[in-house]
Amino acid sequence: MLGVRGSTAAPGADFVRYGGHTSCIGVSRHAEEAPSLVLDAGTGLRNLSAHWDFRPFRGSILLSHLHWDHVQGIPFFVSGDNVDAEVELYLPAQDGRSGEDLLAQSMAPPAFPITPSGLLGDWTFRAIEPGVHAIEGYSVTAADIRHKGGRTFGYRVSDGSVDIAYLPDHVATGGLTDAVEALVAGVDLLIHDAQFLEPERALADAYGHSTVDDAIALASQLKARRLMLFHHGPGRTDAQLDVIADGLDAPVPVDLAREGDLVEVVA
Ligand SMILES: [Zn+2]
Ligand SMILES: [Zn+2]
């Protein structure tokens, strides 16, 4: 877990235990292997370079969507912004535009000093459609999920024996879609949007997110074997997250994502 926050980074003394960086997860087959598959590129992507001993990154990054909290780590990823890096970056196709053009909408002057093509190393930007893709030796299923403001994919990543599903920004209410069912059914680990609590339902609906209870209901309905609550609200302090953790009552094992944690997933 390289970054577990939603919306915007949360620095400060009240946020050190769960971590303040925005969405980013590294995936590897073994704990000692540097992650070559990365889920989202929030500010937590800065944490990945240390796992590569600051050597050039060779791997792939899957973006769920292009909101700031999922892309702003890209230009600060020193192992990726390296003349010897080789990076394939995948993002949801939309409006017939190239992957590079889509990313450049928020990463180009005057919003940012450089464009995607200004990154050092060999970067390839691929706008992809829903379906099954072979990436870094994994079978990656991409599917449209409900969020707000731009196309959003959820991903299911399988190495043939272990499956994880990643839906960091998702409206889980309003009826189960075939796409969500295909992504989540029976996974060994579901990593899911849990930005809000039930008393904040109006905000969850307005911003296109889920509550903790929504995430638990989805995991339970689709028989995920384990759930990790992710994309914590930026104002949610460590103490408040502890209260959520202590109050969990769910039919599936549930944890709160913490930046820096190594999460072993078994079939
Ligand atoms: Zn987000
Ligand atoms: Zn979003």
- Distance separating alpha carbons of residues 200 and 202, to the nearest angstrom: 6
Measure 154 CA to ligand 1 centroid, in angstroms.
12
- Distance separating alpha carbons of residues 197 and 206, to the nearest angstrom: 13
Q: For the residues 252-257, what does the mean pLDDT come to? A: 98
- Distance separating alpha carbons of residues 215 and 221, to the nearest angstrom: 10
pTM (predicted TM-score): 0.97
The number of C-alpha atoms within 13 Å of 50 and in the hemisphere containing its C-beta is 6
What tokens does 176 get?
A: 């189960």
Model pLDDT for residues 234-244, shown as the tens digit of each residue: 999 999 999 99
Measure 168 CA to ligand 1 centroid, in angstroms.
7
Judge whether 135 and 90 are in contact, CB under 8 Å.
yes
Ligand nearest to the CA of residue 152, numbered in listed order: 2
Ligand nearest to the CA of residue 149, numbered in listed order: 2
Ligand nearest to the CA of residue 6, numbered in listed order: 1
Measure 67 CA to ligand 1 centroid, in angstroms.
6
Domains and CATH numbers, the chain: 13-256 (3.60.15.10)
Measure 150 CA to ligand 2 centroid, in angstroms.
8
Measure 68 CA to ligand 2 centroid, in angstroms.
8
Judge whether 103 and 66 are in contact, CB under 8 Å.
yes
Rounded mean pLDDT of the chain? 97
pLDDT of 15 > 90? The answer is yes
pLDDT band at 267 (very low <50, low <70, confident <90, very high): confident
Burial of 208 (0-12, 13-18, 19+ CB in 10 A): middle
Model pLDDT for residues 142-151, shown as the tens digit of each residue: 999 999 999 9
- The pLDDT value recorded for residue 183 is 98
Measure 38 CA to ligand 2 centroid, in angstroms.
17
Q: Which H helix or E strand runs over 212? A: helix 212-221
- The pLDDT value recorded for residue 166 is 98
pLDDT of 152 > 90? The answer is yes
**Residue of 12, 2, 7 lying closest to 237 (CA atoms):** 12
Quote the percentage of the chain above a pLDDT of 90.
99
Model pLDDT for residues 164-218, shown as the tens digit of each residue: 999 999 999 999 999 999 999 999 999 999 999 999 999 999 999 999 999 999 9
